[in-house]
Amino acid sequence: MVRDDALLAFERHATSKLHSSDDLLAIRTLGFRGEALPSIASVSRLTLDTRAAEEEAGTTVEIAGGKILRVEDAGLPVGTTIAVRDLFYNTPARRKFLKSEQTELGHIAALVTHYALAHPERHFELHSATQALLIAPAVATSGDRLFQIFGRETAALMLPSRRRSTSRARDCRSLRRGSARPIMRSGSRDFCGSRGSSPSRSCRS
């Protein structure tokens, strides 16, 4: 994003990309909803680093509790990175409803894994305070993504889907309906059940 757009992204109701009701059927981005980014920024310490391809310098925006602390030019690669820290630090009443750190991290890991499986053409990374939990660079096929996340043994046990589709989401659904052999587990990740069984957590969207 250019500097003006980076600042506009934190204004409420300012980032909608919908111009008509038909646009609801053609959403292709994985970005935040227009209201979500300022809402997150209001209850955390947030840093946004961004640079548009046509710009020589990028922009860094630092916000705490909804207040802009710093906006400055920075040497950055093309793209946008958002770092969120100390979630609910200023709203302890909401923070007490969070589960243990391990439980919340498990929810986040499951969600990021789902997105990574559904969108192999995207690069996904998930890091905890002590280690990298997932590093999945963009790949060409869903099979390559399965190999990245679950390893060679699990990927080899998958059966190709007979249903051909250009939609990543529809491909993922056909996987869930039964293209895996009987249930297996890889580390802490439950995998798909056998044909006709209920999908495990890692296969649900």
Three-class DSSP labels, 180-198: ECCCCEECCEECCCCCCCC
Most confident of 68-77, 96-105, 177-186: 68-77
Contact 49, 74 (CB under 8 A): yes
- Tell me: pLDDT of 82 over 60: yes
CATH topology for 3-95? Heat Shock Protein 90 (3.30.565)
Sign, CA dihedral 126-33-4-45, equals negative
For the chain, domain boundaries: 3-95, 99-205
Average pLDDT over residues 19-45: 79
Contact 126, 109 (CB under 8 A): yes
Average pLDDT over residues 50-76: 96
Average pLDDT over residues 26-34: 64
- Tell me: pLDDT of 197 over 90: no
Q: Which residue has the higher pLDDT, 14 or 204?
A: 14
| Residue 97 DSSP class | T
Take residue 135 and report the two structure tokens written for it: 């590093």
Average pLDDT over residues 116-142: 91
Q: pLDDT confidence of 30, banded at 50, 70, 90?
A: low
Q: What angle do CA 118, 124, 130 make, to 5 degrees?
A: 130
Report the C-alpha gap between 87 and 43 in whole angstroms: 6
Strand pairing report for 132-136 and 124-127: antiparallel
pLDDT at 92: 86
Mean pLDDT, all residues of the chain: 78
Tokens 């009701």: give the residue.
Answer: 21
Look at residues 38, 76, 36, 72 and name the one whose alpha carbon lies nearest to residue 56: 76
Contact 55, 2 (CB under 8 A): yes
Look at residues 8, 107, 99, 95 and name the one whose alpha carbon lies nearest to residue 44: 95
Query: DSSP strand E in the chain: where?
Result: 45-51, 58-64, 67-74, 79-85, 124-127, 132-136, 185-186, 189-190
Q: pLDDT confidence of 66, banded at 50, 70, 90?
A: very high
- Tell me: pLDDT of 187 over 60: no
> What pTM did the predictor assign?
0.61
Average pLDDT over residues 42-55: 96
